[in-house]
């Protein structure tokens, strides 16, 4: 079945509430969308939302790349060769994971619809459903507790607390959440590279015994060797995020002593489903758990991440709340959240529908 048209466009979308992390405050997000149309009328949808500060690509660059002659040459190619098209895309747009992801996701969606199965079924579904965490940005203790209460009322069971600006305040915020909500919430934290080694040791010591699930990217990229001074008992709770952009980094971090016991995979860091599977396979062979994350993203790419996450047997955590704070989107469906658990549909492709 031939590809007869490709289309792309950029759309800025407001967030329902701004949030702050260790290095920025966000109030809206620009998303790049990509469509692949087949001769029988099937359309596959993809989206890109790279974080410039992490991968060096803006969404505006993504949108421009999707309009280049290279992409227009997809027209006339057979969707059954989608993996070859993705391979060529990775070669052509090397180091541009947002562009790769938008193309990769759209091709997977189109191919799944063409053959009549979901993307998760194509790769072999291993997991039925997992609970997602929801994110609390850096804010006062009172504001954090108020937001956590709202998430509890919505049925969520896991919160991810952003940290990294002031370790003393971070400790207080996390301990107060545990104190007020007891065992209702499992708690994860994400320092977004904001800690020194001394800060991290202080945070670990102060929260020891509080049953934190994980600590995401506590220190800056390039300081991974400093983490080796920590005992494995502590390192196995550390999740690589900004340090883990592609399968090459996954392999390096899995060699010899491991600074991280968990890998955070984001489609917008590794270039889509194919790149994610490369990281996941390395992690499985190195006995490293998978933690699937996201940026502020459309339901399109969040659903894609869910499908590949549920196709990996070493997936243990998901943090795929990136579409929940969008004031608008282009699609709906794709997944359903029931008591905090994310369930994907068994419809062909990725299963969402245009609004």
CB 32, CB 47: distance < 8 Å: yes
Q: What residue segments make up the domains of the chain, in order of their start? A: 3-117, 121-354
Where helices occur in 264-315 by DSSP H, the ranges are: 267-270, 273-285, 299-309
Q: What's the burial of 332, exposed, middle or buried (CB within 10 Å: 0-12/13-18/19+)?
A: exposed
Residue 54 neighbours by CB under 8 Å, 6+ apart = 242, 245, 269
**Is beta strand 331-333 parallel, antiparallel or unpaired with respect to 352-354?**
antiparallel
Residue-wise pLDDT for 208-260, tens only, equals 999 999 999 999 999 999 999 999 999 999 999 999 999 999 999 998 899 99
Domain covering 121-354 in this structure, CATH number: 3.20.20.120
At 25, the pLDDT band (50, 70, 90 cuts) reads confident
At 28, the pLDDT band (50, 70, 90 cuts) reads confident
pLDDT of 23? 63
CB 119, CB 6: distance < 8 Å: no
How is domain 3-117 classified at the CATH fold level? Enolase-like; domain 1 (3.30.390)
From the centroid of its chain, how far is CA 65?
22
179 pLDDT above the threshold of 90: yes
């Amino acid at each position: 079945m031939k590809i007869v048209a490709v289309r792309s466009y950029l759309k800025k979308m407001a967030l329902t509430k701004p949030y702050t992390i260790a290095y920025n405050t966000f109030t809206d997000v620009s998303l790049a969308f990509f469509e692949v149309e087949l001769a029988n009328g099937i359309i596959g949808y993809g989206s890109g939302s790279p974080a410039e500060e992490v991968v060096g690509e803006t969404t505006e660059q993504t949108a421009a790349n999707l309009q280049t002659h290279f992409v227009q040459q997809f027209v006339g190619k057979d969707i059954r060769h989608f993996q070859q098209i993705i391979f060529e895309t990775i070669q052509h747009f090397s180091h541009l994971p947002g562009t790769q992801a938008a193309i990769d996701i759209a091709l997977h969606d189109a191919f799944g619809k063409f053959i009549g199965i979901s993307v998760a079924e194509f790769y072999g579904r291993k997991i039925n459903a997992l609970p997602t965490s929801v994110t609390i940005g850096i804010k006062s203790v009172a504001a954090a507790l108020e937001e956590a209460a709202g998430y509890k009322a919505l049925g969520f069971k896991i919160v991810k607390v952003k940290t990294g600006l002031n370790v003393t305040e971070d400790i207080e915020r996390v301990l107060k959440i545990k104190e007020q909500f007891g065992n209702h919430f499992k708690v994860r934290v994400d320092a977004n590279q904001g800690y020194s080694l001394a800060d991290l040791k202080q945070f670990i010591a102060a929260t020891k015994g509080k049953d934190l699930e994980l600590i995401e990217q506590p220190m800056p990229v390039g300081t991974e060797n400093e983490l080796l001074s920590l005992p494995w008992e502590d390192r196995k709770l550390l999740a690589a995020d900004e340090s883990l952009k592609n399968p090459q980094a996954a392999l390096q971090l899995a060699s010899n002593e491991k600074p991280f016991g968990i890998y955070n995979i984001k489609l917008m860091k590794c270039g889509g489903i194919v790149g994610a599977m490369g990281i996941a396979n390395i992690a499985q062979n190195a006995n490293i758990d998978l933690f699937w994350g996201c940026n502020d993203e459309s339901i399109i790419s969040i659903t894609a991440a869910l499908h590949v996450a549920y196709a990996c047997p070493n997936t243990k955590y998901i943090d795929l709340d990136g579409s929940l704070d969008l004031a608008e989107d282009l699609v709906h469906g794709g997944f359903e959240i029931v008591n905090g658990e994310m369930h994907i549909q068994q419809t062909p492709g990725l299963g969402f529908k245009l609004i």
